[in-house]
Amino acid sequence: MVHRVIPLLDQRTHALRSATLVDGPLLDQLHRPLHDLRISVTDRCNFRCSYCMPKAVFNKDYPYLPHSALLSFEEITRVARVAVAQGVRKIRLTGGEPLLRKNIELLIAQLAQLHTPDGQPLDLTLTTNGALLARKAQALKDAGLQRLTVSLDGLDDTIFRKMNDVDFPVRDVLDGLEAAHKAGLADIKVNMVVQRGTNDHEILPMARHFKGTGSTLRFIEYMDVGATNGWRMDQVVPSREVLQTLQTQWALRPLAPHTPGETAQRWAYADGSGEVGVISSVTQAFCADCSRARLSTDGKLYLCLFASQGHDLRDLLRGEATDAHLTAAIQHIWQGRSDRYSALRAALPADTGTGARRVEMSYIGG
C-alpha cells in the first residue's frame, strides 16, 4: 500500500488540512466500504410532512440556504466523479424535494456520463414526493435517470393531505407514478413511512394497490431524525408488525438482498405478483454494513443520517484544491468513520436537549 501526504486547503477545520492519500480499498474504522453517495440538491420542499419538515418550524421565515451557498451541478459532478473512483457505485439524488431544483435533468445528464473504474455505469436514482413528477418524468428518463423512488404515505386523500400538511391531493402523486411508468422508468419503488395512529391503517390498502403493478412498495419505520419532528418510540410500527399485517392477507417468502448493505428486507408474494420491502432502521439496525455517505446541499459530507456534524468540501471545491486534494479529503473522512447510531440507539440516554443537535433529514436527504 502506497501513502502520499497531500496538504489540504479546507478553511473550516484543522483535521482536513493534510491527509494521507492511500492506494487500495477505502474502508472506515469498522471495515465498511464507501459504495453509496446520497446527494441533496436543495433544502427546500413543497410538502410539510410532520416527520420531516413540520410547518411550525419550516415556515415562511425559515432561513433556507441562499442560491450562492448551494453546490453547482459542476461541483456536485466533480465530487461524484472523485467518489466513484473511490468505490461509489450508486448515487441517489434527494433533497428536500429534488425536483424543485431548476434544471435538475442537466445534473442527471452529467452524472449519467460517469462510469466505475471497471467501466460499469452508475446506479443513478432519485427520490421524490411525486408532486412534480407528472411534468418531469420524461425529461428525467431522457437525461439518463435509471431508477426512481416516490414517497407516498397513504391512499386515503384526507390522511395524505393531512400528512403533507399543504393540502396536496394523492391523485396528483398517482398521476406522477403513471407518467413515470409511461416514460420507461421501470424500476420504481414507493416508500411509505408508517406512524402508529396516523396512517398505519393504510398498510393493507397500499399493498393491495401496488401489488402486481411492477412497483415495489416499501414500509419504513418512523425514525428519530433531526430535532424538529417530535419523534416518540410509541409512534413506531415495527417492521415485524407490518409483515404480520401483510401476512393476514397474503403468503410471503423472504428474498435475498440485491447488494450488501441494502437497507430494505425484501419479501416476495408467493403468487408471483411482485414484492414488498420493510426498512427497519429503528428496531433492526443495519449499521454493520452501512456503505452510505451523504453530501448536503451546501457541500458538507455526512457519514450518518443521524450525524450532528458534516465535513466541509465546498471550500476545497471553490479553492485551489486539485482532484488529488479532494480525493485525500474524502479518504481521510471515510477512514475516520465509526458511526453506528441506530445500533447504539437502545443504549443511549434519552435526549435532554443538551446533546449535539442532529442534522435535519431535509438538509441531507433520507
At 237, which CATH number?
A: 3.20.20.70
What is the predicted pLDDT for the residue at 225?
A: 62
Cα distances (angstroms) measured from residue 78 to each of 82, 137, 324: 6, 25, 12
How many domains is the chain partitioned into structurally? 1
Nearest partner of 189 among 242, 148, 232, judged by Cα: 148
Residue stretches of the chain with pLDDT short of 50: 1-14, 17, 350-355
Cβ atoms of residues 246 and 288 within 8 Å: no
Q: What's the chain's Rg over C-alpha atoms? A: 20
Whole-prediction pTM = 0.89
What is the predicted pLDDT for the residue at 347?
A: 58
Cα separation, 3 vs 207, in Å, equals: 52
Cβ atoms of residues 129 and 47 within 8 Å: yes
Cβ atoms of residues 314 and 75 within 8 Å: yes
What is the predicted pLDDT for the residue at 209?
A: 98
Domain residues for 342?
A: 3-364
What is the predicted pLDDT for the residue at 149?
A: 97
Cα separation, 264 vs 190, in Å, equals: 12
Cα separation, 293 vs 364, in Å, equals: 10
Cβ atoms of residues 187 and 180 within 8 Å: no
Query: At 93, which amino acid appears?
Result: L
What is the predicted pLDDT for the residue at 51?
A: 83
What is the predicted pLDDT for the residue at 22?
A: 67
What is the predicted pLDDT for the residue at 319?
A: 94
60 in the Ramachandran plot: left (φ > 0), alpha (ψ -120 to 50) or beta? alpha
Cβ-count burial of 112 within 10 angstroms (0-12 exposed, 13-18 middle, 19+ buried)?
A: middle
SS (H, E, C) the chain: CCEEEEECCCCCCHHHCEEEEECCCCECCCCCECCEEEEECCCCCCCCCCCCCCCCCCCCCCCCCCHHHCCCHHHHHHHHHHHHHCCCCEEEEECCCHHHCCCHHHHHHHHCCCECCCCCECEEEEEECCCCHHHHHHHHHHHCCCEEEEECCCCCHHHHHHHHCCCCCHHHHHHHHHHHHHHCCCEEEEEEEEECCCCHHHHHHHHHHHCCCCCEEEEEECCCCCCCCCCCHHHECCHHHHHHHHCCCCCEEEECCCCCCCCEEEEEECCCCCEEEEECCCCCCCHHHCCEEEECCCCEEECCCCCCCCEECHHHHCCCCCHHHHHHHHHHHHHCCCCCHHHHHHHCCCCCCCCCCCCCHHHHCC
Cα separation, 295 vs 316, in Å, equals: 14
CA dihedral 55, 59, 62, 66 (to 10 degrees): 110
The CB-side HSE value for 228 (13 A sphere, CA atoms) comes to 17
